[in-house]
Structure 1
Amino acid sequence: MHPHASAPAATWTLGDITVHRVDEIALPPQTGPWLLPGATPQVVSQHPWLKPSFADESGVLRLASHTFALIAGGRRVLIDTGIGNAKPRANPAWHGLDTDYLTRLAAIGFTPESVDLVVMTHLHTDHVGWNTTAHEGSWVPTFPRARYLTTRTEWDFWSSTELDEPRAQMFRDSIHPVRDAGLLDVVDMPPAGGAPIAPGLTLVPTPGHTPGHVAVRLDSRGAEGLVTGDCIHHPVQLADTGLGSCVDIDPGLAASTRRALLAEVADTDTLVLGSHFPAPAAGHVVTQGDAYRFVPAGDRHVSSSRGAGA
């Protein structure tokens, strides 16, 4: 068995949309203290519901790298593409990976040639890696028939920013080959509301982590879901909405965005799918005191409402 092999993809159904969680890797324990430095073991211990699903008994957060795959309006869609294989990365946990991610995609019917749309919630290294794969000494688009979407705000920000070498490397191997192949689409977001991109799929502006960050709203036959991207990294941020990531570009805006999003989905049937939440990664936000908690839906469970999936 491949060293990163896993069980069949978890799935949830929202109306006519079936969402698959496609695993890449579980992130190492040191990820939590680096990414969310305010989420100390002492903070975690104040919220017993976080253990053992979302933190270990010592209070260290559990995080994962996975993507979401779905079919909407007959189109095969990927939301983010993870870290990728064989990429040179400064972060040791991301460097030179060798996972069977593409095999897992193919197992649910998403061969590279069949993917129609790749949504990049933002242009960070661990969300764009499988945009490309190595071929004869070059990086080429993994999904040759797909359109790759990012927002204009996101594209313009990074295009005008002086990049450090690790991020410049990421753009060289995972973004520029897509652009050079003519597959990149830059989406202009409306002044208010979201941008529909396919039947039942809408990009929702969630700035702060990066300027043009988006979440993805799913809506089919009255059932709703929301893929968070990195506006929420971990369920501990429901318990303490002020906890920010060390890589938030605008921490204050990230916190206000997170609070507004949580208030919108709390105590509703909206299935929240966390882009770095540990398995099962999907569930519902419920009010607890002056904050929230996360009630997970069952792994490999088909769910269209809180009553069925909690």
Structure 2
Amino acid sequence: MNSLRPGMVLSESGWNLHVIAAPPDPISATVALVPVRHLYGGHTLTQRWDRARHVSVYRHRLAPGDVTLVPTVPRCFIPDSPEQGDRVVARFHEALSLGDSRFFEYDGTQWIAVSEELDGREFRQTVRTYNSIRHLVNAPELSYVYYSYMPAGHQPHLYVDGKPMPARTVSQLVVGDVLRLPGGCRVEIDAVKAIGTATALHVRLARRSIHSLRHFMWSEQVGGIAEHLDSGRTGALYATEPRASELRPAAGLRPGDTIIRSWGRVDSDVSEVDSIWASAGRAAVELTTTAVDGRRVRTCSSGHEPRHVLLHSPHPEYARPAAEQMAAGSTA
């Protein structure tokens, strides 16, 4: 334990592919706090480990200065008084299929989780209820999953490689949409077809993931094609690149809007707009926002350059409700 350094990649059972994110902090003669984060991105988890513990690591490791490149996802904050329809989505680091369908939804009194598993030749649906899910979301030992909070009425978003992007159900996907998977993978939709009560997505690999055979299991060759079926019963979400019509300039935002700020940049985040300021005679606009993790950020850019994605607006006269925006996706 005392020889652990930032950049080392663990091969421990339960912590495989987690990177030491910062130097361990000894808090007693026998215990140290060890910050770790999954190589594919996620929450930073601080573990209380015995200083005498023997830890297995891979021979290859990151340079200490490259640890900051390991994607970070803000911790999921659950309000004391959630609103009906709020969701908490679970994302698995090493998922082997398209679509994220594991989530908790608040029905006004409790959290409900619906899962669907193949039982023989039929799918079996299981419904579980929870009075509170904080013990699940904040459990430090959950090394295989991270969580994102999605308020009711907001266009959903998911994190891929630590960056937020719009999320859609299968019924909202159209030909030309680009799905994003960890490791820089891009998958383009070539066709959307109804097969009975399910929807078939015909997809084509546009860019390989750097994580071989982890997030695109059908083909490793650019141009490889596959078919993905979605029954629609679980409400699975797909992280997609924004459509051109969804990108807005800073001058087109209002205080109180929730946005994906600076889509495509390394510092992109989900934020609420605090203020917008433009000086006379200058094309630049200064945008002040508060990120979901509490950081205050100032962004200066051309007021007319479309760089931000609107997730929700409290101004009904200014933007259509998010539900209408999503419903219009099939005609976008």
TM-score (norm 2): 0.27
Largest Rg, 1 or 2? 2
TM-score (norm 1): 0.28
Greater helix proportion:
1
Greater strand proportion:
2
